Amino acid sequence: MNLSHFEALFVFAFFVSTVFGLITKTTPKEQFRYGAFVFCSFLGVAIVVGWLMFPLPW
Amino acid sequence: MSNAYSPNPAPEPENKIVGLRQLNLGLALAISFSGFIIPGLGHILMGRWIRGAMLALAIGLMFLIGLSMQGELYVSDLSQTPLRLFGFFADVGVGLMYWLAEHARLGTGNMSARTYDYGTTYLWVCGLLNYLAIMDAFDIARGRKP
């Protein structure tokens, strides 16, 4: 499997947020909301940090 | 006259969360161990089918994707550097799948592959996630959470 960096990040965030949501919350609604929050946080932080590092010369 | 200060007050329930089933320690450990062998099995044995199936699916798929990305499964070799032992601890968390992959000589890792680092990280993290799932199953079995 030859995923790009973003695709690998996306899949990674999906699975990790699924497990986090399942084991930290009790009701399905809470699990979905928390999982979605963790997933968006993964992607958002990665994109922001990626852009912050973009101008660095090394 | 109120009996709030009666000499023999009713004993407080041991578990403050009402309605939770509490299994004995041995059974809780056995259920947790089954979750170590096959991810999600501990939850399934306690009747939490959907949660167990989703955990099994997420952790199992992550493991398979990690292998297909040519990630490396670390082996238990005490002569190697300590950091690799941490990697072994993380990898072995998926239980049976680790041993099957190891015996099938999968997960040898290809450092020249672009996805090697991601694949190895997938393999670590799915093992670590299963440790969390095992602790979750133990807490449920002991009646600490619903």
Choosing among B118, B131, B140, which should be mutated to test the A contact, i.e. which has the most A CBs within 10 A?
B118
pLDDT tens string B2-34: 445 556 665 555 555 445 678 788 999 999 999
Q: Is residue B13 part of a domain?
A: no
Q: CB A23 to CB B132 under 8 A?
A: yes
Q: Which residues of A fall within a CB distance of 8 Å from B40?
A: none
Enclosing domain of residue B88: 25-141
Q: Is residue B43 part of a domain?
A: yes
Q: Is residue B67 part of a domain?
A: yes
Q: What is the pLDDT of residue B10?
A: 58
Q: Which residues of B fall within a CB distance of 8 Å from A25?
A: none
- Quote ipTM for the complex: 0.89
Q: Is residue B102 part of a domain?
A: yes
Q: CB A22 to CB B125 under 8 A?
A: no
Q: CB B118 to CB A15 under 8 A?
A: no
Query: What domain count does chain B have?
Result: 1
Q: What is the pLDDT of residue B8?
A: 62
Choosing among A9, A12, A19, which should be mutated to test the B contact, i.e. which has the most B CBs within 10 A?
A19
Distance from C-alpha of B133 to C-alpha of B138, rounded to nearest angstrom: 9
Q: What is the pLDDT of residue A37?
A: 97
Task: Give me B91's structure tokens.
Answer: 């990898």
Q: Is residue B11 part of a domain?
A: no
Q: What is the pTM of this model?
A: 0.85
Residue A46: CB atoms within 10 Å? 16
Q: CB B55 to CB A22 under 8 A?
A: yes
Q: Is residue B90 part of a domain?
A: yes
3-state class (DSSP) for residue B48: coil
Distance from C-alpha of B139 to C-alpha of B146, rounded to nearest angstrom: 9
pLDDT tens string A9-44: 999 999 999 999 999 999 999 999 999 999 999 999
Q: What is the pLDDT of residue B1?
A: 46
Q: Is residue B127 part of a domain?
A: yes
pLDDT tens string B74-119: 988 777 788 888 999 999 999 999 999 999 989 888 889 889 999 9
Task: Give me A2's structure tokens.
Answer: 């030859």
Q: Is residue B4 part of a domain?
A: no
